[in-house]
């Protein structure tokens, strides 16, 4: 347990849990200031005029807020499951750099998509959750440990990490393009994956 708390993964787990408890006790206060709100540059976000505007820190702070117990439980489980072997392989500095780059890349992707939705008469909403960073970790795990067997929860069958990542990415792309599963930031997930792929590609070239 002490070893986990001394890692970047452990510190991220603690920070997310502490802020989730604060979020639950403070109502919408943290959401209003630290969720990732749409820019509303090309099209005003009329529905959110009473809400503080987009602030630069939100591209990171949104990843420490969650929309319920199941949301944070799944994200933190994935952070521990995929992040632990990656940090052990890369070391804490590169792992932290990679994770936060994916978080920011996911946020930027979502901001672009939100602007497009608003321009076309759609609705945009604030985004919360560590999923952008998690999807980046998922991609890296699938590339570094492609033949590792993962046991799915639904259905409970084993699958190699590479096929799991490919399938999950395809589902997210389909859901994002078709607009199914409304309320889920699919393009933020894909943005986290894309950023992770670019980071790994750049590092491989330096090697």
Q: How does residue 28 score in pLDDT terms, banded at 50, 70 and 90?
A: confident
Amino acid 179: pLDDT? 52
DSSP structure string for 108-162: HHHHHHHHHHHHTT-----B-SSHHHHHHHHHHHHHHSTT-EEE-SSS--EEEHH
Is 2-206 a domain of CATH 1.20.1540.10?
yes
User: Would you kindly state where each structural domain of the chain is located, as residue ranges?
Assistant: 2-206
DSSP structure string for 167-181: HHHHHHHHHHHHT-S
Asked whether 109 and 190 are in contact (CB, 8 A), the reply is: yes
Measured over all CA atoms, what is the biggest interatomic distance in the chain, rounded to whole angstroms?
51
SS3 state of residue 57: coil
- Among the residue ranges 80-89, 127-136, 170-179, the one predicted with the least confidence is 170-179
Whole-structure pTM value: 0.87
Per residue in 37-76, pLDDT tens? 988 765 555 544 445 578 899 999 999 999 889 889 988 9
């Amino acid at each position: 347990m002490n070893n986990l708390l001394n890692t970047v993964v452990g510190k991220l787990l603690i920070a997310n849990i502490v802020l989730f408890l604060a979020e639950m006790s403070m109502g919408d206060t943290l959401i209003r200031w630290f969720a990732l709100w749409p820019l509303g540059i090309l099209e005003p976000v009329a529905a959110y005029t009473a809400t503080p505007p987009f602030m630069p820190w939100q591209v990171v702070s949104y990843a420490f807020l969650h929309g319920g117990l199941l949301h944070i439980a799944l994200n933190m489980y994935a952070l521990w499951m995929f992040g632990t072997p990656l940090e052990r392989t890369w070391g804490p500095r590169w792992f932290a750099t990679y994770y936060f780059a994916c978080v920011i890349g996911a946020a930027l992707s979502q901001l672009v998509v939100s602007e497009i939705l608003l321009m076309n008469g759609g609705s945009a909403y604030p985004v919360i959750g560590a999923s952008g960073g998690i999807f980046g970790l998922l991609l890296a795990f699938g590339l570094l440990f492609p033949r590792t067997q993962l046991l799915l929860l639904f259905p409970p069958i084993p699958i190699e990490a590479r096929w799991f990542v490919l399938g999950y990415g395809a589902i997210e792309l389909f859901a994002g393009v078709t607009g199914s599963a409304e309320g889920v930031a699919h393009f933020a997930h894909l943005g986290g994956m894309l950023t992770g792929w670019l980071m790994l590609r750049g590092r491989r070239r330096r090697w």
